[in-house]
Amino acid sequence: MSFSFSQEYGWTDISANIPTEADLSDVFFVSDDEGWISVSSDAIILHTTDGGASFEIQTTQTSLEAIYMINQSEGYTGGGSGFVYKTSNGGVNWDFFGSMASTLTDMDFATSTQGYACCDGGAVFSIGGTVNNLNSGQAIPFSGISSSSVDNVWVCGGSSILFYNGSTFTFQAGPAGSYNDIFFLNDQEGWVVGNNGLIGYTVNGGDTWTQQTNPDTNSLYGVFFLTQNIGWAVGSQGTILYTANGGDTWTGQGAGHTTAFLRGVHFVSTNNGNVGYVVGNGKTLLKYGEVLGIGDAKLPIEFQLFPIPVKDKLQIKCSDLKTESGIIEILSLDGKELLKKEIYRGNENNEIDLSNLEAGMYFCKITIDNKSSTKKLIIE
> Are 309 and 278 in the same domain?
no
**154 and 145 in contact (C-beta within 8 Å)?**
yes
In a domain, 51, yes or no: yes
| Residue that terminates a domain, selected from 234, 261, 291 | 291
- Which amino acid, 82? G
The answer to whether 55 and 39 have CB atoms below 8 angstroms apart is: no
**pLDDT at res. 290:** 56
Percent pLDDT > 90 in the chain is 68
Q: Which of 258-286 are b and which e, b meaning 16 or more Cβ less than 10 Å from the residue's Cβ?
A: bebbbbbbbbbeeeeebbbbbbbbebbbb
**What separation in angstroms does the CA of 138 have from each of 58, 104, 124, 160, 165?**
34, 15, 9, 10, 16
Say if residue 376's pLDDT is above 60.
yes
The torsion angles phi and psi of 320, rounded to 5 degrees, stand at -105, 15
Residues 51-62 have pLDDT tens digits of: 999 999 999 999
179-197 burial: b if 16+ Cβ within 10 Å, else e:
bbbbbbbeeebbbbbbbeb
Identify whether residues 20 and 89 lie together within a single domain.
Answer: yes
The answer to whether residue 145 is domain-embedded is: yes
Q: What is the CATH number of the domain that holds 360?
A: 2.60.40.3080
- Which CATH number covers residue 268? 2.130.10.10
At a CB cut-off of 8 Å and minimum separation 6, what does 135 contact?
A: none
Residue 14 lies in a domain: yes
Q: Which domain holds residue 363?
A: 304-379
**Which pLDDT belongs to residue 302?**
62
156 and 39 assigned to the same domain: yes
Based on the number of CB atoms within 10 Å of its own CB, is 167 exposed (0-12), middle (13-18) or buried (19 or more)?
A: exposed
On the question of pLDDT at 346 being above 70, the answer is no
> Residue 377 pLDDT > 90, yes or no?
no
Q: Tell whether the model's pLDDT for residue 244 goes beyond 60.
A: yes
Q: Would you report the helix, strand and coil content of the chain in percent, each value rounded to 5?
A: 5, 50, 45
What is the H or E stretch that residue 240 is in? strand 240-243
Residues 56 and 184 in one domain: yes
User: CA–CA distance from 291 to each of 7, 18, 267, 333, 345 (Å)?
Assistant: 2, 20, 16, 11, 29
